[in-house]
Amino acid sequence: GENVEQHPSTLSVQEGDSAVIKCTYSDSASNYFPWYKQELGKRPQLIIDIRSNVGEKKDQRIAVTLNKTAKHFSLHITETQPEDSAVYFCAASHTGGFKTIFGAGTRLFVKA
């Protein structure tokens, strides 16, 4: 069946360093790839998304890249701060479908 694999499951970085989280999807019809951040005890919230007609999107310290051929997409966080510590989920879905498949999540720790 359709699935999204996410790596690593845990990531620890020093404040100011960059963090990269990678996802692979299986459904070639997928064309929408959101990333959600879930802080401890809170709801998942969208931080950035990308559609299949672009290869990269950036929003301040956060960027997402998409390689449709390889079915890979990645989240890049630069100049990490302690408040970036959270669980990050990637997801994939496609036009006309309401079934969003989520990755298992990456727990990011940013050490001050």
Site for other proteins in 51-90 (CB under 8 A): 51, 89
Among 74, 94, 106, 108, binds other proteins (CB under 8 A): 94
Interior angle at CA 61, CA 34 and CA 80, nearest 5: 105
Taking the C-alpha atoms of residue 78 and residue 31, their distance in angstroms, rounded to an integer, is 25
- Closest to other proteins by CB, 19 or 94: 94
- # of chain residues touching other proteins (CB under 8 A): 25
106 is a site residue for other proteins (CB under 8 A)? no
Single-letter amino acid, residue 31: N
Taking the C-alpha atoms of residue 97 and residue 9, their distance in angstroms, rounded to an integer, is 27
Whether the Cβ atoms of residue 36 and residue 45 lie closer than 8 Å to each other: yes
Q: Where on the chain is the footprint of other proteins (CB under 8 A)?
A: 4, 31-32, 34, 36, 42-46, 49, 51, 89, 93-95, 97-105
